[in-house]
Amino acid sequence: MSNSHLCFTFRRLKRTLHRKFEIHLCVLITDKPLKVRFGSGSFCIIMYHPKPLKRQASCLTGLLAACLCMTPPVLAQERPGADASGEAAENSTIIYDQNFINQYKNAVSIIDIIRRIPGGQQILDSGGGDGGRGFSANDDRVLIDGKRLSGKSNDSESALGRITIDQVERIELIRGASPDVKTSSQDAIINIVLKPGAGGGSGSWRAKARKAQNEDRVNFGGFLSYGGSVGALEYFASGEIVPDQRTVTQVDLEFDGNGNLIRRLEESGRRNKTEYELTTNLIYNLANGDQIRLNGLYSDDNSFREAQPGVFFEPDLSGRLVEAGRSFRLGENDNPAWEIGGDYETAFADNLQFKILGLHSWERNTRTNEEDFDIAGTKPEVDFRSVNKVISTESIGRASLVWTASAAHEIEYGSELSLNKEDVKLQFFDRIDGDLVPRDVSAADVVVKETRNESFLIHTWKLNAAMSLESSIFSEYSRISQNGAGVSRSKTFYFIRPSTDFRYNITSRDQLQLSVRRAIAQLEFGDFASSVSDDDEIIAGNENLAPSKSWEFEASFEHRFINDNGSVKFNILNEQISDFIQRIEVAPGVSGVGNFGSARKTELELEANRRLAELGLPDFVVEASLKYRDNSVLDPFTLERRPVNFYSNTIAEISFRHDVNALGLSYGAEIERESRSRFFDIDERIVFSHPRYSVDTFIEKNIFWGMILRFDAFNLVNTNFGRDRFRFDNGVAIGLLTGRELRERRAGRRFELTLRGIF
């Protein structure tokens, strides 16, 4: 066995399914294929890695194993019959009541409490929508009073920061099917139950000072929220200003095809960015007990100006690098957006519920880039300029009827209609004979419209006290039209998406879940139009795109430790994708996004969270995850199998938080490591400067008058976001290397001091 072999057995994952039947879970990571014999009641997870594991990944895995293998001394004192009881097996929800919430002296909003729940931060990090169109693209894992907000950017998780702890009745951690979320999901859900009337009027505030590395001044921001009730109306509102000024340093080394250094460019650019957000949520309680919920959002969270002067060096006759000139780059982004949504639910009968949701959103993103490659005089003179303006709108209406046919069967039928539009305009200028001259770019002015209908039928079948089966079938119809210079066409797509999700609560703390689903990826409207890359290269638009299609097979096993001491979960996901979307040659020598071939993705994830109660630290919570992803796709340029673009093979995360309640003190840290990812194009290959490390820490203290002082340190290792770029003449298929660019890019460390409280 090689040194990269790591095998450990989670003895605590030994459960008495039958008095003489035990489960042992063994995780084996090896660089050699093995034959493994399975004994009775044994599960073995084999992760085959063709190369020795990196030492850092092994350390993180070992630490994860150490945290999980601690056996509580009270193991034998479980409630008698808990495993054999069908009622106990059915109960997969944990309740956190007022006693739990009120014990933390330095908690302001309910999101502070969720971060103290084992696995809570993992739920916050992985929830939310995927950026797709329609409500089905929103996989929000946070509910408020059993319901998602009818918003996308203004989702339930963002609302948690506006809800103070004195407005909350309890928190529910749901590890089974949720009454409001009908989706084949392997993940847990958090439901926030508010007090009647929002618990009276109260609010929270936050003042922030941020200092970034290489910045001479401190920048300030703040947050203010308030919620309460007036008669039958409950309301929550907030406003936030977030400073994000920083200095980015970048060094580019350029080599010729023979590996000789021909240029060194040193840049130091300052990004000036301030984020703004205004949100509101309204709930009107009707006399019959129904609710009308409205919410709105305005944000400007990605507008910035980044000026990046540079000095470049070239070798002289002796080969020594000497200063040869100056350069200048300017990037500006304008990104305002707003949305408004609402929902209403009523009961036609005791077993018949009707729900309706609506949303309208608008967003504008204007990106301007200017560059002077070689400043001839005292001031920069623009040699290149691009302006890419995109205006997007979306209107959604969704209605559904839920029929509880019996205690074992529930059926939901509904339909959703969405109207989407994206107006894309690209202007591209080059300096020719002293003047900026527009370049003729195909598909530079395109309007894309979509009419999309999705109808669905979902059946939830409670087989018995411990088993449930959720089956669904979605029919999706969309008509996409494109209009612009030289383009006027439309096409229609129709797909059927079946899925099934089986859950088995083996015991009250062990759950097995199996899912099979058909997935259809949504097209990115921006791919129909031409755009400009970060390297000032034109990416051609493609009017012949079709959605990629996949079958997804997923299985997970989760074990919860006693006394709410955490959980461990193993998940495996396999995707078989056809009509895969990637870079292809859309015109001679020009690449763009298109459909080509098939791809496969396999993902293994081990996720765990643990209270260290057995060490006398019940408020010390460790959360960790290790994700391994294997993937491949047929390269359209070389016709060889290769990794999928921008897809890292391994991601390891570990974090901890310790609350010293007697002192009103909390501290913690988060560490993340991500392996290399790659990018393949028609004439270049890029290897991003992974493995990337990220280290963030914090400490906070309740000082006086209920105010909490917090200090955060971000990006302590000053992560390199650089890359290694290889350029090929006449395309990568020929393989003639003509140049290489090695980039180191660092955003610097950031430090933040925050004072917050409740009023």
Per-residue pLDDT tens digits for 335-357: 999 999 999 999 988 899 999 99
Sorting pLDDT into bands at 50, 70 and 90, what band is 313? very high
**Whole-number pLDDT of residue 500:** 95
pLDDT band for 94, please (50, 70, 90 cuts).
Answer: confident
Q: Are β-strands 142-144 and 189-194 bridged in parallel, bridged antiparallel, or unpaired?
A: parallel
**CB of 337 within 8 A of CB of 361?**
yes
pLDDT at 418 over 90: yes
Average pLDDT over residues 706-726: 93
Q: What is the 3-state secondary structure (H, E, C) of 336-378?
A: CEEEEEEEEEEEEECCEEEEEEEEEEEEEEEEEEEEECCCCCC
Taking the C-alpha atoms of residue 497 and residue 489, their distance in angstroms, rounded to an integer, is 26
Q: Which residues pair with 312 in a beta bridge?
A: 265, 325
When pLDDT is averaged across residues 117-136 and rounded to a whole number, the result is 72
Closest to 263 (Cα-Cα) out of 322, 308, 317? 322
Tens of pLDDT, residues 135-193: 766 666 788 887 777 777 766 667 787 888 888 889 988 876 544 444 445 567 888 88
Query: pLDDT at residue 131 above 70?
Result: no
Q: What are 592-633's pLDDT values in tens digits?
A: 999 998 999 999 999 999 999 888 898 999 999 999 999 999
User: SS3 helix, strand, coil % of the chain, rounded to 5?
Assistant: 10, 60, 30
Residue 84 is predicted with a pLDDT of 31
CA–CA distance, 115 with 117 (Å, rounded to integer): 6
Highest mean pLDDT among 110-119, 462-471, 727-736: 462-471
Global pTM? 0.80
Q: Give residue-wise pLDDT tens across range 257-296.
A: 999 999 999 999 899 999 999 999 898 989 888 889 999 9
Residue 37 makes CB contacts below 8 A (sequence gap 6+) with none
Domains annotated for the chain, with CATH where assigned, are 6-85 (no CATH), 89-194 (2.170.130.10)
Report the Cα 524 to chain-centroid distance in Å.
18
| Rounded average pLDDT over 424-432 | 90
What pLDDT sits at residue 79? 29
Residue whose token pair is 């090695």: 742
Report, as an integer, the average pLDDT of 518-522.
93
Least confident of 185-189, 454-458, 538-542, 634-638: 185-189
Return the closest-CA partner of residue 543 out of 526, 568, 555, 560: 526
Q: Which of 285, 416, 421, 290 is nearest to 358 (CA)?
A: 416
Helix (H) or strand (E) segment spanning residue 61: helix 55-68
- pLDDT top residue among 65 and 635: 635
Across the range 487-515, mean pLDDT stands at 92
Mean pLDDT of 6-24: 35
pLDDT of residue 186: 53
Q: What is the DSSP letter of 183?
A: S
Give the model's pLDDT for residue 277: 94
pLDDT in tens, 580-596: 999 999 888 889 999 99
Instruction: Give yes or no for a contact between 450 and 480, defined as CB atoms under 8 angstroms apart.
Output: yes
Q: Largest Cα–Cα distance in the chain?
A: 89
pLDDT of residue 25: 40
Average pLDDT, the chain: 83
pLDDT at 38 over 60: no
**pLDDT at residue number 12:** 34
**Distance, CA of 186 to CA of 501 (rounded, Å):** 9
Compute how many other C-beta atoms are within 10 angstroms of the C-beta atom of residue 286.
11
Query: Cα–Cα distance between 676 and 646 in angstroms, integer?
Result: 9
606: its two tokens: 């081990």
Determine the pLDDT at residue 123.
80
Residue 43 pLDDT greater than 60, yes or no = no
Is 608 within 8 Å of 70 (Cβ atoms)?
A: no
With bands split at pLDDT 50, 70 and 90, how would you rate the model's confidence at 4?
very low
Environment class of residue 231 by beta-carbon count within 10 Å: exposed (0-12), middle (13-18) or buried (19+)? exposed
* Inter-residue contact 128 to 153 (CB < 8 Å): no
Query: What stretch of H or E contains 756?
Result: strand 750-758
pLDDT digits (tens, 9 = 90+) for 389-400: 999 999 999 999
- Residue 318 pLDDT exceeds 50: yes
Q: How many CA atoms lie within 13 A of 366 on its CB side?
A: 6
pLDDT class for 127, splitting at 50, 70, 90? low
How would you classify the pairing of strands 352-372 and 321-334?
antiparallel
Which of 152-156, 414-418, 735-739 is predicted least confidently?
A: 152-156
544-559 burial, b for 16+ CB within 10 Å, e for fewer? ebebbbbebebbbbbb
Band (484; pLDDT cuts 50, 70, 90): confident
Whether residue 659 contacts residue 612, with contact meaning beta carbons closer than 8 Å, is answered with: no
Please, are residues 690 and 646 in contact by the beta-carbon 8 Å criterion? no
pLDDT at 440: 84
Query: What is the average per-residue pLDDT within 375-388?
Result: 88
Q: What is the pLDDT of residue 77?
A: 31
HEC assignment per residue over 113-175: HHCCCCCHHHHHHHCCECCCCCHHHECCCEEECCECCCCCCCCHHHHHCCCEHHHEEEEEEEC
Least confident of 301-315, 471-485, 533-547: 533-547
pLDDT at position 157: 66
Q: Is the pLDDT of residue 10 over 50?
A: no
Whether the pLDDT of residue 50 is over 60: the answer is no
Q: Residue 449: is its pLDDT beyond 70?
A: yes
pLDDT band at 332 (very low <50, low <70, confident <90, very high): very high
